[in-house]
Homo-oligomer: A and B are copies of this chain.
Amino acid sequence: MAVYTDVSDEDIARFVAEYDIGKVVSFKGIAEGVENTNFLLHTDQAPFILTLYEKRVNPDDLPFFLGLMDHLSSKGLNCPTPIHGTDGVALRRLCGRPAAITSFLQGMSPRRVLPHHCAGLGDALAQFHLAGQDFDNYRANALSVKSWRPLFESCGNGADDIMPGLSAMIAAELDYLETNWPAKLPAGVIHADLFTDNVFFFPGQEEVSGLIDFYFACNDLLAYDIAICMNAWCFEPDNSFNVTKAQNLLAHYTRTRPLGADEIAALPVLARGSALRFLLTRLYDWINTPEGALVTPKDPREYISKLRFHQKVTSPAAYGIGDL
């Protein structure tokens, strides 16, 4: 959670006047997202979300992200819809930062993941992948397999400070992944960060009410997005793997977008890659976050444990995919 930029009441009134969404009646910083500043904005017509993009987001990528949300919304996917100003422009500036207003999405992210959430997630992820197929912009994955070795090298000896022997483990894993990474799987727009914070449900319901936070979205292997979700959703707090959750995720995904045999076979290596990607970025943040910073970095150790699990997996059956 974070609110980085304070916006005055006059600034927000002036900004909202550039849209045809009524007059601002309330405006509160919300504890959502760690990369940007988010406000819940009520006008006399409806609630909206106002996002100010802070320095961790590359402004050159914003047209891709907002264009993607426009595209997905037009396809009927429940995600924040960028609101365009009366001049037609969605990406604007406020308080010296790029800024956009999007529609307000109902629902809540699950604080405790239950198996039914993973079923709904599978449906929503497949629907998202299908809806993105004819989006005609392209953004390379800045955190793809190619980027992991330089990211690891920039951490210096930091890995061994977290856990003795971790550097050697990561180096060996990089060798394995660079050799075995699948090249020819179906690709398209992936979310690339579909953690529980970014998926909304109504309490007790299986169906996803919406997806948010497309600020890591990029073009990559679709099945890699499934692997990211397996790591984010299917491990228990004690890091044990809940195969029922994975079964639900995969069964519901494939009923909307069937997986090829090559994609299924690649799941273990994709899961290892996804675990290493989050291990490395968390390691980097752990080393580079100054003491007393507003945002507490996430513990990289969680992903060491997940990586070890997938290293022992010899067949996608371990994820319950044999039951499809």
Pair A9/B110 contact, Cβ less than 8 Å:
yes
A10 at the binding interface (Cβ < 8 Å): yes
Number of copies: 2
| Chain B residues whose CB sits within 8 angstroms of the CB of A108 once the complex forms | 9, 12, 24, 26-27
Residue A40 at the chain B interface, CB threshold 8 Å: yes
The answer to the question of A112 belonging to the interface, with a C-beta cut-off of 8 Å to chain B, is yes
- Which single residue of chain B is at the shortest CB-CB distance from A203? B13
Could you tell me how many residues of chain A have their Cβ less than 8 Å away from some Cβ of chain B?
37
Given A42-B106, A109-B9, A112-B8, A30:B27 Cβ within 8 A: no
Contacts of A28 in B (CB 8 A): 30-32, 40
Q: Are A106 and B13 in contact (CB under 8 A)?
A: no
Main secondary structure of the interface of A (DSSP, over half): loop
Q: Is there contact, CB below 8 Å, between B12 and A104? A: no
A201 interface hit (Cβ, 8 Å): yes
Of listed A25, A47, A292, residue having the most chain B CB within 10 A: A25
A204, CB-defined interface residue at 8 Å = yes
Contact partners of A13 in chain B: CB under 8 A: 203-204
Minimal beta-carbon separation of A82 from chain B (angstroms) = 19
**A6 interface hit (Cβ, 8 Å):** yes
- Contact check, A10 vs B203: say whether CB atoms are below 8 A apart: yes
Residues from chain B with Cβ under 8 Å of A10 in the complex? 111-112, 203-204
Residues of A within 8 A of B (CB): 1, 3, 6-10, 12-13, 23-32, 40, 42, 47, 104-112, 201-204, 291-292
User: What are 9 A-B interface contacts by the 8 Å CB criterion?
Assistant: A7-B111, A8-B112, A9-B108, A9-B109, A9-B111, A13-B203, A28-B32, A29-B31, A292-B292
